[in-house]
Structure 1
Amino acid sequence: MITVVGTGTGAPLPPDAEAAVARADLVVGARRHLAAARLPAGAEQVVLGPLAPALDIVERYVAKAEENQQEGAAGARVVVLASGDPGFFGIVRALAERFGPERLDVRPGVSSVATAFARLGLPWDDAVVVSAHGRDLRTAAHVCRSHPKVAVLTGPGSGPAELGAALTHRSGARVLVVASALGDPAHERVEQVTPAEAAARDWGTAVSVVLCLDESRVLAPVRTVAGPAAGPDRWALDESEFAHRDSMISKFEVRALALARIGPRLGDLVWDVGAGCGSVAVECARFGAAVTAIEKTRDGCDRIRANAGAHGVDVRVVHGAAPTVLSDLEDPDAVFIGGGGRELPAIVAVCARRARRAVVVAMAALDRVPAARDALEAAGFACDGVLLQSSRLAPLPGNVTRLAATNPVFLLWGVRPLARTEGVPP
Structure 2
Amino acid sequence: MITVIGTGTGAPLPPDAEAALAGAGLVVGARRHLAAAALPDTAARIVLGPLAPALDAIERFLEKLEPEKPDERRPVVVLASGDPGFFGIVRALAERFGSDRLTVHPGVSSVATAFARLGLTWDDAVVVSAHGRDLRTAVNVCRAHPKVAVLTGPGSGPAELGAALRSSERVLVVASALGSGEEGSDEEGAEGEGAGGERVERVTPAEAAARDWGPAVSVVLCLDEARVLSPVRTVAGPPPGPAQWALAEGDFTHRDSMITKFEVRALALARLGPRLGEHVWDVGAGSGSVAVECARLGAAVTAVEKTLDGVERVRANAAAHGVDVSVVHGAAPTVLSDLPDPDAVFIGGGGRELPAIVTACARRARRSVVVAMAALDRVPAVRGALVAAGLDCDGVLLQSSRLAPLPGDVTRLAATNPVFLLWGVRPPARSEGVAQ
TM exceeding 0.5 = yes
1:102 match: secondary structure: helix
Give the Cα–Cα distance (whole angstroms) in 2 for the partners of residues 287 and 379 of structure 1.
Answer: 27
Q: Percent identity?
A: 81
Corresponding residue for residue 230 of structure 1: 240
Q: Is the counterpart of residue 274 in structure 1 residue 284 in structure 2? A: yes
Give the Cα–Cα distance (whole angstroms) in 2 for the partners of residues 119 and 398 of structure 1.
Answer: 66
Corresponding residue for residue 204 of structure 1: 214
Q: Is the counterpart of residue 383 in structure 1 residue 397 in structure 2? A: no
Q: Is the counterpart of residue 118 in structure 1 residue 116 in structure 2? A: yes
Q: 1:328-359: per-residue Cα shift (whole Å, max 9, x none)?
A: 11100000000011111111111111000010
Contact 1:113 1:209 in 2 (8 A): yes
Contact 1:61 1:76 in 2 (8 A): no
1:306-345 mapped onto 2 (5 Å cutoff): 306-345=316-355
Contact 2:283 2:305 in 1 (8 A): yes
Give the Cα–Cα distance (whole angstroms) in 1 for the partners of residues 176 and 70 of structure 2.
Answer: 47
Corresponding residue for residue 178 of structure 2: 182
Q: Is the counterpart of residue 359 in structure 1 residue 355 in structure 2? A: no
Give the Cα–Cα distance (whole angstroms) in 2 for the partners of residues 245 and 314 of structure 1.
Answer: 22
More divergent stretch after superposition (181-190 vs 337-346): 181-190
Corresponding residue for residue 424 of structure 1: none
Once the two structures are TM-superposed, the CA of residue 73 in structure 1 deviates from its matched residue by 6.1
| Cα pair distance change 1:23/1:71, threshold 3 Å | closer
Corresponding residue for residue 420 of structure 2: 410
Q: 1:5-56: per-residue Cα shift (whole Å, max 9, x none)?
A: 0001011211111111111111101111111101111211111111000000
Q: Which amino acid aligns with 1:4?
A: V
Q: Which amino acid aligns with 1:387?
A: L
Give the Cα–Cα distance (whole angstroms) in 2 for the partners of residues 250 and 200 of structure 1.
Answer: 42
Q: Is the counterpart of residue 250 in structure 1 residue 246 in structure 2? A: no
* Structure 2: gaps (5+ residues): 182-195, 431-436
1:97-112 mapped onto 2 (5 Å cutoff): 97-112=95-110
1:312 match: secondary structure: coil
Corresponding residue for residue 30 of structure 2: 30
Give the Cα–Cα distance (whole angstroms) in 2 for the partners of residues 137 and 342 of structure 1.
Answer: 36
Once the two structures are TM-superposed, the CA of residue 307 in structure 1 deviates from its matched residue by 0.4
Q: Is the counterpart of residue 95 in structure 1 residue 75 in structure 2? A: no
Give the Cα–Cα distance (whole angstroms) in 2 for the partners of residues 71 and 189 of structure 1.
Answer: 48
Give the Cα–Cα distance (whole angstroms) in 1 for the partners of residues 2 and 34 of structure 2.
Answer: 16
Contact 1:145 1:290 in 2 (8 A): yes
2:4 match: secondary structure: strand
2:150 match: secondary structure: strand
Give the Cα–Cα distance (whole angstroms) in 1 for the partners of residues 199 and 151 of structure 2.
Answer: 16
Once the two structures are TM-superposed, the CA of residue 408 in structure 1 deviates from its matched residue by 0.2
Q: 1:287-309: per-residue Cα shift (whole Å, max 9, x none)?
A: 01000000011110000000000
Aligned residues: 416
2:240 match: secondary structure: coil
Corresponding residue for residue 189 of structure 2: none
Once the two structures are TM-superposed, the CA of residue 93 in structure 1 deviates from its matched residue by 0.5
Contact 1:389 1:407 in 2 (8 A): yes
1:32 match: secondary structure: helix
Q: 1:214-273: per-residue Cα shift (whole Å, max 9, x none)?
A: 111111000000000000000000001111111000000000000000000010000000
How large is the Cα RMSD of the aligned pairs? Answer: 1.1
Once the two structures are TM-superposed, the CA of residue 71 in structure 1 deviates from its matched residue by 5.4
Q: 1:70-126: per-residue Cα shift (whole Å, max 9, x none)?
A: 455623410000010000000000000111101111110000000000001100000
Give the Cα–Cα distance (whole angstroms) in 2 for the partners of residues 414 and 70 of structure 1.
Answer: 64
Q: 1:146-167: per-residue Cα shift (whole Å, max 9, x none)?
A: 0000000011111111100000
1:182 match: secondary structure: coil
Give the Cα–Cα distance (whole angstroms) in 1 for the partners of residues 303 and 404 of structure 2.
Answer: 32
* Structure 1: gaps (5+ residues): 421-426
2:53 match: secondary structure: helix
2:385 match: secondary structure: helix
Corresponding residue for residue 190 of structure 2: none
Corresponding residue for residue 150 of structure 2: 152
Normalising by structure 1, report the TM-score.
0.96
Q: Which amino acid aligns with 2:347?
A: I
1:419 match: secondary structure: coil
1:62-73 mapped onto 2 (5 Å cutoff): 62-65=62-65, 68-70=66-68
Normalising by structure 2, report the TM-score.
0.94
Corresponding residue for residue 292 of structure 1: 302
Once the two structures are TM-superposed, the CA of residue 64 in structure 1 deviates from its matched residue by 2.1
Contact 1:64 1:75 in 2 (8 A): no
Contact 1:28 1:46 in 2 (8 A): yes
Give the Cα–Cα distance (whole angstroms) in 2 for the partners of residues 229 and 176 of structure 1.
Answer: 21
Q: Is the counterpart of residue 52 in structure 1 residue 62 in structure 2? A: no
Contact 2:82 2:109 in 1 (8 A): yes
2:67 match: secondary structure: helix
Corresponding residue for residue 78 of structure 1: 76
Give the Cα–Cα distance (whole angstroms) in 1 for the partners of residues 377 and 62 of structure 2.
Answer: 69
Give the Cα–Cα distance (whole angstroms) in 1 for the partners of residues 400 and 78 of structure 2.
Answer: 63
Runs of 4 or more, structure 1, over 2 Å off, are 70-76
Corresponding residue for residue 12 of structure 1: 12
| Cα pair distance change 1:72/1:220, threshold 3 Å | closer
Corresponding residue for residue 348 of structure 1: 358
